[in-house]
Amino acid sequence: MKITALICGGGNGAHVLAGLAPAQPDVEARVLTLFADEAERWTKAMEGKDFSVDCHAGGKVTNVVGKPSIVTKDPAKAAPGVDIIVFTVPAFAHAGYLEALKPYVKPGLVLVGCPGQAGFEFAVRGIWGEAAKGVTIMSFESLPWACRFLEFGRKAEVLGTKGTLQGAVNAGCTAPPMDATAMLQKVLGPLPKLLTSGHLIGITLMATNGYLHPSIMCGHWEKWDGKTMQEPPLFYNGVSKESAQLLSDVSDEVVATAKTLEEKCKGVCMGNVSHMYQWYLRCYGNDIDDKTDLYTCIKTNRAYKGLTHPCTANEDGSFSPNFGYRYMTEDLPFGIVVMRGVATIAGVPTPHMDRIIYWGQKLMGKEYLVDGELKGKDIPSTRSPQAYGINTLEALMGL
């Protein structure tokens, strides 16, 4: 059967999927990008020209040509008649797309967060309301590829494709025209192989950047004395044992949350949640020189070579930490605060998450935690379950 897919976004992932999807048999691809004039520029760039993706694999490069049927910022032109919608935008942009698409939600629709990132399902239910009940929601832990666009609206490049991609599915009350996982596989092509299991909450808890980045930031800068540096310090490969321990402690809280939910909610599988150490072995096993523990996994991960802490250059050539970077501004409200919200409902204590949130919110001038509770004035701007009025196990897991 023919599948009509709507790709939301205008960045690297959207460019790759806009080329790969229409190259698959019986797939029509459309693009909706709401940012500024991206749709207009993309459309103009494709006029009379092919759209192509260079795919690197096994030392060879395969050129794939596949042109989306429309690129627009008007959901009324993009959304009618689509079978599957794929979000390839950061978490902070999801709400804008959900609001724009709300009038076009239909029973049997499949909505994919790729990646969904923490709290994706809460945002969908909170914004789409009753209409979301007929929608099958899928969430995945990351993009399928390491990729970039080479020429806006014309050409993209896949530097590497994951062999497998972990995700979870929450079936809507109206079945899609074909199995949701099979439908997305048809849109992506043969790789990566999609593996869907466990509860959607498991993918929220395994949105690892949401606590990986804040843990390392807090561990490194919590006692910063305000002195500038001659160069930005290494972020991953420069991690300290203390920072790695903080990350491990937070990961313990995440695992405890999943285990408690599984124990309290009969029939719920949270087997898609694992400790950060196991996650590193699974995702970066071939890139790690020393797999002794979490600290050595991060310290010797060749995939992280040269990546530094976000810093701002000063007039004298020195550097200061940039606390306005996404590792803070996104990974707190759309990451660790969400996980803290789930842990709260599960009844799991989170002293290590709290340490990071208190530190981070003070630097950003935000208020999430107050007296040990998620009742700060900025909670509505997060994707925590509490932001959508979800405060019980029944409401949380019933999603």
By the 8 A CB rule, do 336 and 366 touch?
no
In angstroms, the Cα distances linking 33 to 106, 271, 300 are: 20, 35, 38
CB under 8 Å, gap of 24 or more: what pairs does 318-326 form? Answer: 318/228, 318/229, 318/230, 319/228, 319/229, 319/230, 319/231, 319/232, 320/228, 320/229, 321/221, 321/224, 323/217, 323/221, 323/363, 323/364, 324/364, 326/90
What is the per-residue burial (b if ≥16 Cβ within 10 Å, else e) of 280-297? beebbeeebeeeeebbbb
For 70, phi then psi, to 5°, come to: -155, 145
By the 8 A CB rule, do 39 and 16 touch?
no
Set 15, 213, 309, 352: catalytic member: 213
Residue 316 has which token pair?
A: 């004298």
213 is catalytic: yes
Q: What is the DSSP string of 20-62?
A: HGGGSTTEEEEEE--STTHHHHHHHHHTTS--EEEEEETTEEE
Contacts of 51 (CB under 8 A, 6+ apart): 18, 19, 65, 66, 67, 68, 153, 154, 155
By the 8 A CB rule, do 72 and 46 touch?
no
Contacts of 362 (CB under 8 A, 6+ apart): none
3 state SS of 369: strand
What are the start-end ranges of the H helices in the chain? 12-20, 38-46, 75-78, 91-101, 120-128, 180-188, 200-205, 209-221, 241-264, 276-284, 294-299, 326-329, 337-346, 351-364, 393-397
**CA–CA separation, 338 and 171 (whole Å):** 22
* Positions marked active-site: 213
